[in-house]
């Protein structure tokens, strides 16, 4: 809505000036949670606490890159500005949350990037109440893998490669991946009864980032807590053989190997040790 209104105002301005100013359009990012990464999850017990550990992947499917610039330094934090590029190459900036310096990692993280929750399943497919949730996770945001090279404005080289830069972001058609072994990739589930639930991931839950679509930031997959019997087989989905799941493309839904579609294109994430 904002984009359209903006474009109309600029078009009117352009007409008023006798065509001296060309209409400009913001090329906004659109970040969404690729649900296939959520299938990479497991139950662990750490320090006497039971957790659901999960992987998460956030992809940019918008017309423009997510560009985050670190501004004023305030102790361990830094104000973040989102730079929005327009189709004529110009840009403007808006405040968009903060970076926090993590001494264990030795670099800046963009705060409140993802929220993880477990929800009841109501009836067949209904989304019910939250039964457990983790802390909001912070990360350095980088181009880790190619998600969709067919998108308009896809950048085959990527742009955001370093966690040490004051610039972070996500290029069009790229995905950043946070594997389940990383610190913070958990939902504490002590006291959650055995059963089937929605595992939900929301990117940018506090809406720091301006996107072309703010309504596709949540993805959900079904998970079983407890497992080991008691649940009826799903009548709508046959039980596959190992060969069938192994035959699916890596990184896609219900395939055991979850990784970037073109892993060689990404720098990897060696600087994120498991820290509990």
Q: How far is the CB of 276 from Zn ion (least distance, A)?
A: 15
Q: Which residue, 119 or 180, has its beta carbon nearer to Zn ion? A: 180
**Of residues 112, 7, 144, the one with CA closest to residue 63:** 7
Q: Which residue, 67 or 110, has its beta carbon nearer to Zn ion? A: 110
- Looking at beta carbons, which residue is closest to Zn ion? 105
Q: Give the chain's length.
A: 276
Which tokens belong to 272?
A: 């994120």
Q: Report the alpha-carbon distance of residue 252 to residue 231 in Å, rounded.
A: 25
Q: Which phi-psi region, left, alpha or beta, contains residue 47 (left: φ > 0; alpha: ψ -120 to 50)?
A: left
Q: Which stretch binds Zn ion (CB under 5 A): 16-24, 78-86, 97-105, 253-261?
A: 97-105
DSSP state of 192: P
Q: Which stretch binds Zn ion (CB under 5 A): 53-61, 105-113, 213-221, 229-237?
A: 105-113
Q: Which stretch binds Zn ion (CB under 5 A): 104-112, 189-197, 206-214, 228-236?
A: 104-112
Q: What are phi and psi of 77, to 5 degrees?
A: -120, 165
Asked if 105 interacts with Zn ion (CB under 5 A), we say: yes
CB neighbour list of residue 76: distance below 8 Å, 6 or more residues apart:
100, 101
Q: Which residue, 50 or 105, has its beta carbon nearer to Zn ion? A: 105
Q: How far is the CB of 275 from Zn ion (least distance, A)?
A: 9
Asked if 101 interacts with Zn ion (CB under 5 A), we say: no
Q: How far is the CB of 8 from Zn ion (least distance, A)?
A: 42
24, burial (CB in 10 Å: exposed 0-12, middle 13-18, buried 19+)? middle
**Of residues 161, 166, 156, 164, the one with CA closest to residue 144:** 161
Q: How far is the CB of 140 from Zn ion (least distance, A)?
A: 5
Token pair 């069938």: residue: 244
Q: Which residue, 99 or 174, has its beta carbon nearer to Zn ion? A: 99
Asked if 269 interacts with Zn ion (CB under 5 A), we say: no
Q: Which residue, 155 or 183, has its beta carbon nearer to Zn ion? A: 183
Q: Which stretch binds Zn ion (CB under 5 A): 45-53, 99-107, 124-132, 143-151?
A: 99-107
Question: What are the counts of helices (DSSP H) followed by strands (DSSP E) for the chain?
Answer: 2, 16
Q: How far is the CB of 272 from Zn ion (least distance, A)?
A: 5
Q: How far is the CB of 119 from Zn ion (least distance, A)?
A: 28
Q: Report the alpha-carbon distance of residue 206 to residue 137 in Å, rounded.
A: 12
Q: Which residues bind Zn ion (CB under 5 A)?
A: 105
């Amino acid at each position: 809505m904002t984009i359209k209104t903006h474009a109309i105002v600029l078009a009117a301005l352009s007409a008023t000036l006798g065509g001296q100013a060309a209409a400009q359009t913001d090329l906004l990012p659109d970040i969404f949670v690729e649900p296939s990464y959520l299938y990479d999850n497991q139950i662990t017990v750490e320090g006497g606490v039971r957790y659901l550990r999960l992987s998460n992947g956030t992809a940019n499917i918008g017309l423009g890159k997510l560009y985050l610039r670190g501004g004023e330094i305030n102790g361990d934090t830094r104000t973040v500005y989102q730079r929005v590029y327009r189709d004529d190459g110009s840009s403007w900036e808006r405040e968009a949350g903060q970076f926090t310096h993590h001494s264990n990692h030795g670099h800046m993280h963009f705060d409140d990037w993802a929220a993880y929750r477990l929800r009841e399943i109501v009836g067949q497919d209904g989304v019910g109440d939250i039964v457990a949730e983790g802390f909001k996770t912070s990360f350095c945001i980088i181009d880790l893998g190619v998600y969709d090279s067919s998108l308009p404005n896809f950048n085959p080289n990527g742009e955001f490669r370093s966690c040490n830069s004051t610039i972070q972001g996500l290029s069009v058609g790229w995905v950043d991946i946070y594997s389940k072994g990383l610190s913070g990739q958990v939902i504490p589930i002590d006291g959650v009864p055995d059963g089937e639930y929605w595992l939900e991931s929301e990117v940018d839950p506090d809406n720091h980032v301006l996107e072309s679509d703010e309504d596709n930031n949540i993805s959900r997959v079904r998970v079983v807590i407890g497992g080991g019997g008691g649940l009826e087989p799903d009548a709508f989905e046959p039980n596959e053989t190992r060969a069938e799941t192994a035959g699916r493309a890596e990184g896609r839904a219900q395939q055991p190997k979850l990784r970037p579609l073109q892993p060689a294109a990404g720098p990897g994430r060696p600087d994120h040790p498991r820290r509990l």
